[in-house]
A and B are shown apart, each in its own frame.
Chain A
Amino acid sequence: MMSTATNSSAAAAAAAPLEISGLSITVQVDGESRPLLDKVSLSVAKGEIVGLVGESGSGKSVTSRSALGLFPGHAITTGSVVVDGVEVIGASAAQLLELRRTRASMIFQDPRSSVNPVRRLGDFLTEGLRARGVGRAEANRTAIGLLEEVGIRDPARAMRRFPHEFSGGMLQRIVIAGALSIGPRLVLADEATTALDVTTQAEVVALLKRLQAESGTGMLFVTHDLELAAALCDRIVVMYAGRVVETGAASAIFAEPQHPYTVGLLGSNPRLTGERATLTPIVGRPLALAEAPAGCAFRDRCPIAVPACATEVPALRPSRATEVACIMPGDEKAA
């Protein structure tokens, strides 16, 4: 893997849990380069929940995985990803192991396949701590305590049981306990509630929020569901085709979305409250960066696109309460 570190301001005294700047990733597939991310920047402060929102192919998962140094194979990576003061890009294998064991952990989408089906839950829960060299007895104590916190009854017994003996919702609580076992500064939740049914999803989201608030850890909440992100997160970053198109406080994005894509995302979700009952889906299908047209990647699907949209990729600029990558921000009347 080739990589170029362009960041020199590493490890400040009170480093943010996550600081991504100018991250671009290109993978080589059969001698062809296929870009996945284009100059993505975002940060997560201590105690903050940041929502990373986008459709499939937007690059949100690639972005969140980069925080753990989980890059795709044959990737060329430029820019900087600093987790709790540690630069990930160009990090040695040992540094990456240390980062994953002590500073950051990830909650994946499907709890059923996240947990090894033939091993006991105790093995799953203590794996992270044991990898760091914590003794079995102490790791078990920590795991039992966490199981209690996430609301598993009879935690000592649960440690000896197998994943198939639990429901999806219960299992995701256990996965969350596993992610928190190392006391991370940064938690990456990659569609962590998508596989669950609506009621369970609400419970797990509430649990995540409570645990995050108690521990003061930073969290990057990756989801395709902008409304869920707006309800849970402090700030939101919206991605489209490998680029950040809008970022700002969750309340501002929800109340006054500036990018036509963000407007579309909100409009394509059925609302249970409010007067506007019409559902306006975004036309066309989501694009990956490799298939995006020149200029603004969204212009083919954009209701307010003008010829000027094709000339260059718009940069992020402040517009009202958010920052937006659009030459005609806030023109939501057209949507």
Chain B
Amino acid sequence: MSLDTVGLALAGTARRTRRRTRPSALVVASIALLGIVAVASVLAPVITPYAPDATDILNSSAGPTSEHLLGTDGTGRDTLSRLLIGAQLSLLAPLAVAVITTAVGALLGLAAARIGGAFDMIVSRAMDIVFAFPTLLLALLAVAVFGPGLTAPICALALGYIPFVGRIVRSAAIQEQAKPYVGSHAVMGFSELAITVRHIFPNIAPVLLAQATLTFGYAMLDIAALSYLGLGVQPPAADWGSMIAQSQSAVLQGNLWSILFPGMAVILTVLAVNVLGESLSDRFSLASRSAR
């Protein structure tokens, strides 16, 4: 039957209470997957069945076997071992981007909201200008300037994602500081800084966490792309993006096994991160709505 405002309102309240109390099975699964990937990457040097660059020429470009659980690549290197070692850089690089972006973005967004005036205008306009640069272009430019590697692209991506975090933090802080308690604290003589640190920041922390998580996912895709193009991680080091690049020749010879596992590793990790980030951001918007 037709949608009705009454029915929707009722359904809305119910969904809201249910979502707030318990994370969905999908969110739990995502957290579990990310936990496993993180632990595996830390333990990688200990648990890899083979040295990541040991070649087994007789068994090159093979599918899963009892010897090589996830098969081997074109030069006979064990895919599982390379995936585990590759996870380290694949996770660390986007983590670095997310941390830098979140820290700087939060600082800029908060400062813009609290100081306001010309400062707010300049910060907002600057973020608009950075937003005009596709993040991948910034990473590529960093490579052009500093040569292949990950350090420069990490900084470039961190810069590129600042507007995504900064804009949201700014508007959340503006919303928060419009609440009556902020004014009353100011009247009571608390300093601007104290109010910002003790009240406004804790209240926007959830949205910051959500944004940090989503940034991690996007950055992971950018860095994988960079490594795929041969401009990121340089051999003999490996990440999932460079593994995918190395699998291309095998794929062109009709062997799809070599792309399957590194491809899945990227997709599943980003998927889990996005599920987590979206659920965090949903929770925040629901909490702020019901508080109003």
Contacts and interface: CB of A to CB of B under 8 A. Distances in A.
Q: Note whether A and B form a binding pair.
A: yes
Interface of A: 1, 27, 29-30, 34, 36, 61-62, 65, 69-75
Contacts, number: 36
B265 to A, nearest CB: 37
A72 B14 CA distance: 15
12 contacts: A29-B11, A62-B6, A69-B2, A71-B2, A71-B4, A71-B7, A72-B7, A73-B1, A73-B2, A73-B3, A74-B7, A75-B7
Interface residues of B, number: 11
Contact of A70 (B2, B11, B14, B18): B2
B10 A75 contact: no
B252 interface: no
Interface of B: 1-4, 6-8, 10-11, 14, 18
Nearest to A30: B14
Looking at A1, A36, A70, A75, which has the most chain B CB atoms within 10 Å of its CB?
A: A70
Contact of B10 (A34, A65, A70, A71): A34
Nearest to A25: B6
A70 B5 CA distance: 10
Nearest to A34: B10
Contacts of B18: 30
Contacts of A73: 1-4, 7-8, 11
Contacts of A61: 6
B1 A1 contact: yes
The binding surface of chain B is classed by DSSP as helix
Given A61-B6, A62-B6, A71 B1 contact: yes
A70 B4 CA distance: 7
A73 B10 CA distance: 10
Contacts of A29: 10-11, 14
B7 A65 contact: no
A30 B12 CA distance: 11
Nearest to B18: A30
Nearest to B12: A29
A29 B8 CA distance: 10
A75 B1 contact: yes
A107 to B, nearest CB: 15
B20 to A, nearest CB: 14
Nearest to A290: B10
A46 B2 CA distance: 28
A100 to B, nearest CB: 11
Contacts of A34: 10
Contacts of A65: 4, 6
B15 to A, nearest CB: 8
A70 B3 CA distance: 8
B4 to A, nearest CB: 4
Contacts of B2: 69-71, 73
Nearest to A65: B4
B39 to A, nearest CB: 37
A27 B3 CA distance: 13
Looking at A30, A71, A72, which has the most chain B CB atoms within 10 Å of its CB?
A: A72
A196 to B, nearest CB: 20
Please provide the 9 A-B residue pairs with the shortest distance between their CB atoms, ordered closest to farther. A72-B7, A73-B7, A1-B1, A72-B6, A72-B4, A30-B14, A29-B14, A29-B10, A71-B1
Nearest to A1: B1
B276 to A, nearest CB: 25
A177 to B, nearest CB: 23
Given A71-B7, A72-B7, A73-B1, 16 more contacts: A1-B1, A27-B6, A27-B10, A29-B14, A30-B14, A30-B18, A34-B10, A36-B6, A61-B6, A62-B6, A71-B4, A72-B6, A72-B10, A73-B11, A75-B1, A75-B7
